[in-house]
């Protein structure tokens, strides 16, 4: 009887171990998105599709204009072209899968697909933070030191600044994605989100995520706080310089060149700080459900902001308007 009991216990232990192994290594995740609101899904599908097409069109036009019009071959428009390309990459990494899930109800995503989506999302977000800081510094030099501007912001310098932004964002994303996807996910593979957003994925982990939280805090300091400080102090000096100008026309022109960038910064940081600035362990281990407001803010950050960027930069920018008009009216070579 004791032998039978021991054998039975071993069988149960082995079964439990196998079950634990099966539950630990999730092969796919389920993205719920707005599954709780089926009547709204078709409306969101149409809205997101229209916004995505506007993102591709608006940012694509800005990239083409800044590339082929010699009047836009300046550091500011070089950074703007990078920002437009980044917005296209960011939305293209998540929006198509979101549209498919809304129209076909196919909500599953593979483990590797989730990792790729998380990588691109984090990489593009980190890079955009740095690019916005670089653009603020560019405006600071242009307005506060106009005579030294061609020397300080030479082609080698601004290309290097953009390259460092992309490389740093990519490295940061590799670190964050690797740490998140190495975690064990016990049984529950349901992500209450539109995409494989890192905080939503961390909620599913059944292991200690202290290292993830520490690295995210460091990442927030490096990619959110430091660029924001650069932006803040750049605009403090810019405002001081503008107020000292004697020419009203010069003040209006200076304000006009900075207003678009400042608007984008406010929209971008307003949403991203709400989502990422204060990761807390109790939030990550709390309920597995995002509030509807959180989802909508995430959607705003992921789709609406990239759509607004080319509109904001074009509305009050005569150079961009002239370049786009020139490209549209240019006759093809026969």
Q: Does the pLDDT of residue 3 top 50, yes or no? A: no
Answer yes or no: are the C-beta atoms of 199 and 191 closer than 8 Å. Answer: no
Calpha distance 269→106 (Å, rounded): 32
Calpha distance 141→234 (Å, rounded): 9
Q: Does the pLDDT of residue 303 top 50, yes or no? A: yes
Joined tokens for residue 217? 């805090």
- Banded model confidence at residue 276, pLDDT cuts 50, 70, 90: low
DSSP 8-class letter at 262: H
**In which order are the strands placed within the sheet that holds 108-110?**
108-110, 28-31, 190-191
Considering only the C-alpha atoms of the chain, give the largest distance between any 2 of them, rounded to a whole number of Å. Answer: 100
Residues 50-71 have pLDDT tens digits of 999 999 999 998 999 888 888 8
DSSP 8-class letter at 185: B
Residues 118-168 have pLDDT tens digits of 999 889 989 999 999 999 999 999 999 999 999 999 999 999 999 999 999
Residues 7-48 have pLDDT tens digits of 333 333 343 444 444 444 567 888 877 666 677 778 888 989
Q: End-to-end alpha-carbon separation of the chain, Å?
A: 95
- The mean-pLDDT minimum among 36-45, 246-255, 325-334 falls in 325-334
- The number of angstroms, rounded, from the C-alpha of 189 to the middle of its chain's C-alpha atoms is 23
pLDDT of residue 295: 67
pTM: 0.83
Question: Which of the four CATH numbers 3.40.470.10, 1.20.1070.10, 3.40.50.1820, 3.30.365.10 does domain 37-276+291-322 have?
Answer: 1.20.1070.10
Answer yes or no: are the C-beta atoms of 324 and 61 closer than 8 Å. Answer: yes
pLDDT of residue 277: 52
Residues 187-244 have pLDDT tens digits of 678 887 778 888 888 888 888 899 999 999 999 899 989 999 999 999 999 999 998 8
Calpha distance 158→152 (Å, rounded): 9
* Domain layout of the chain by residue ranges: 37-276+291-322
Calpha distance 160→116 (Å, rounded): 26
User: Which residue, among 172, 170, 174, 165, has the nearest Cα to 221 in the 3D structure?
Assistant: 172
Calpha distance 174→148 (Å, rounded): 37
Average pLDDT of the residues in 306-332: 75
pLDDT of residue 219: 92
- Token pair 């740093």 is found at 168
Exposure of 117 in the CB half-sphere (CA atoms within 13 A): 25
Q: Does the pLDDT of residue 319 top 80, yes or no? A: no
**3-state percent helix, strand, coil for the chain, nearest multiple of 5:** 75, 5, 20
């Amino acid at each position: 009887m004791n032998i039978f009991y021991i054998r039975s216990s071993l069988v149960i232990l082995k079964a439990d171990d196998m079950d634990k192994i099966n539950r630990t290594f999730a092969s796919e995740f389920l993205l719920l998105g707005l599954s709780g609101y089926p009547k709204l899904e078709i409306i969101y599908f149409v809205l997101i599709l229209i916004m995505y097409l506007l993102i591709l069109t608006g940012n694509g036009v800005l990239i083409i204009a800044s590339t082929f019009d010699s009047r836009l071959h300046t550091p500011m428009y070089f950074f703007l072209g990078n920002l437009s390309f980044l917005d296209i990459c960011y939305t293209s990494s998540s929006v198509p899968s979101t549209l498919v899930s809304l129209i076909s109800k196919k909500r599953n995503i593979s483990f590797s697909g989730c990792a790729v989506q998380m990588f691109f999302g984090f990489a593009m977000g980190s890079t955009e933070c740095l690019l916005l800081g670089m653009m603020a510094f560019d405006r600071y030099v242009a307005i506060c030191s106009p005579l030294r501007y061609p020397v300080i912001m030479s082609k080698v310098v601004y290309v290097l600044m953009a390259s460092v932004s992309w490389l740093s964002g990519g490295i940061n994303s590799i670190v964050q994605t690797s740490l998140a996807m190495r975690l064990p996910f016990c049984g529950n593979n349901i992500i209450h989100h539109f995409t494989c957003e890192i905080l939503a994925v961390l909620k599913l982990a059944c292991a200690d995520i202290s290292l993830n939280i520490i690295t995210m805090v460091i990442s927030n300091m490096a990619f959110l706080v430091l660029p924001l400080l650069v932006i803040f102090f750049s605009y403090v000096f810019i405002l001081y310089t503008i107020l000292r100008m004697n020419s009203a026309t010069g003040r209006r022109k200076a304000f006009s060149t900075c207003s678009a960038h400042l608007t984008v910064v406010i929209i971008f940081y307003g949403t991203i700080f709400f989502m990422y600035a204060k990761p807390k362990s109790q939030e990550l281990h709390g309920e597995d459900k995002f509030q509807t407001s959180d989802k909508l803010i995430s959607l705003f950050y992921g789709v609406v902001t990239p759509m607004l960027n080319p509109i904001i930069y074009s509305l009050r920018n005569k150079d961009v308007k002239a370049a786009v008009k020139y490209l549209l009216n240019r006759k093809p070579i026969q």
